[in-house]
Chain A
Amino acid sequence: GAVVSQHPSWVICKSGTSVKIECRSLDFQATTMFWYRQFPKQSLMLMATSNEGSKATYEQGVEKDKFLINHASLTLSTLTVTSAHPEDSSFYICSAPPGDRYGNQPQHFGDGTRLSIL
């Protein structure tokens, strides 16, 4: 079945550095991908919608300059956390709709990236 791959699965870095997270759709093309953030014992909160070939759409309260999203191809979206600080530590999850939501499922999820900022 369709798979979404996320890399890296875990990253630890110093405060002030930038971190890039990749999200790939492995066997289907995704013109749209979604980026979520999940704090411990909390639900998934949508951060932004990544659109292939155009600018991402950010949810209210999400800093565009902090969380840079690039959807360079139909199978790859990247999230870059710029100048990361400890409060950015979280579990970041991407997803992609396979294009047939009523026939299969609305979105395929990656396994997430645990980001720890020291």
Chain B
Amino acid sequence: QQQVKQSPQSLIVQKGGISIINCAYENTAFDYFPWYQQFPGKGPALLIAIRPDVSEKKEGRFTISFNKSAKQFSLHIMDSQPGDSATYFCAATGGNEKLTFGTGTRLTIIP
């Protein structure tokens, strides 16, 4: 029940395209859903986060869509750039500050 399932495992998108990464959770106690970006040899950095009382949050080129009834949320990266090439992790937490991470998506943006 603590798992967060993430797909796809890897993703190749052309520059300027839309990158979409999906996550699903089971634990209804989760109440905060952040997305992290990680470059090789670095720790994860918060990209954008959402709470379940809203269905969408947008920050620049990054948008989270949240479907509470389906227990799913997704990250959309608009106008994808080569600098967006990294590994992306969804995560979930609820009450105890512990983060449960998804399995990660390696995103590659090609020219």
Contact = CB atoms under 8 A, between A and B. Distances in A.
Given A105-B34, A105-B49, A43 B43 contact: no
A95 B42 CA distance: 13
Interface stretch (B12-20, B65-73, B75-83, B94-102): B94-102
Interface in B37-53: 41-46, 49, 51
A84 to B, nearest CB: 20
> Which DSSP category, helix, strand, loop or mixed, fits chain A's interface?
loop
Interface residues of B, number: 21
A16 interface: no
B103 interface: yes
Interface string A40-57: 011111100100000000
B22 to A, nearest CB: 15
Interface residues of A, number: 24
Shortest beta-carbon contacts, A-B, top 3: A109-B43, A105-B46, A43-B101
Contacts of B99: 34, 44, 46, 95, 106-107
